Amino acid sequence: MSSSTIAEVDMTANTSAPTIRATVVQASSVFYDTPATLDKAERLITEAAGLGSQLVVFPEAFIGGYPLGLNFTDRTLKGKESFRRYHASAIDVPGPEVDRLAALAGKYKIYLVMGVIERDGYTLYCTVLFFDSQGCYLGKHRKLMPTALERLVWGFGDGSTIPVYETSFGKLGSVICWENRMPLLRTAMYAKGIEIYCAPTADPTATWQSSVTHIALEGGCFVLSAIQFCRRKDYPPPPEYIFSGTDEDLTPDSVVFAGGSVIISPLGTVLAGPNHEGEGLISADLDLGEIARAKFNFDVVGHYSRPDVLSLNVKDHQTSPVTFASTKATAEDFHKS
The set of residues, in sequence order, having a beta carbon less than 8 Å from that of 287 and lying 6+ positions away, is 17, 19, 265
Domain containing 273 — which CATH number?
Answer: 3.60.110.10
Is residue 70, in this structure, part of any structural domain at all? yes
Q: Look at 88-102, 232-246, 301-315 and tell me which has the smallest mean pLDDT.
A: 232-246
Cα dihedral 25/30/35/37 (nearest 10): 0
Convert the pLDDT of each residue in 21-63 to its tens digit.
999 999 999 999 999 999 999 999 999 999 999 999 999 999 9
Q: Would you please indicate which residues are annotated as catalytic (active-site) residues?
A: 60
Is residue 204, in this structure, part of any structural domain at all? yes
pLDDT of 330: 55
Q: Look at 71-75, 124-128, 243-247 and tell me which has the smallest mean pLDDT.
A: 243-247
Q: 143 near 114, Cβ under 8 Å?
A: no
Longest dimension (CA), the chain: 85
Query: In which domain, by residue range, is 258 found?
Result: 18-336
Instruction: Give percent helix, percent strand, percent coil of the chain, each to the nearest 5.
Output: 35, 25, 45
Q: 320 or 213: whose pLDDT is higher?
A: 213
User: How far, in whole angstroms, is CA 213 from its chain's centroid?
Assistant: 16
Is residue 8, in this structure, part of any structural domain at all? no
pLDDT of 148: 87
Is residue 11, in this structure, part of any structural domain at all? no
Is residue 6, in this structure, part of any structural domain at all? no
Is residue 4, in this structure, part of any structural domain at all? no
Backbone φ, ψ for residue 171 (5° rounding): -90, 125
Instruction: Provide the pairing of β-strand 170-174 with 196-198.
Output: parallel
Q: Does the pLDDT value for residue 163 go beyond 50?
A: yes
Is residue 254, in this structure, part of any structural domain at all? yes
Q: 1 or 114: whose pLDDT is higher?
A: 114
Convert the pLDDT of each residue in 118-139 to its tens digit.
999 999 999 999 999 999 999 9
Q: 155 or 246: whose pLDDT is higher?
A: 155
| Average pLDDT score over residue span 308-321 | 88
- DSSP one-letter string for 226-240: -B-EEEGGGSPPTTT
Q: What global pTM score does this model have?
A: 0.89
CA dist 22 → 40, 226, 316 (Å): 19, 11, 29
Q: 27 near 261, Cβ under 8 Å?
A: no
Mean pLDDT (the chain) is 89
Q: Look at the chain and report how many structural domains it folds into.
A: 1
Q: Does the pLDDT value for residue 76 go beyond 60?
A: yes
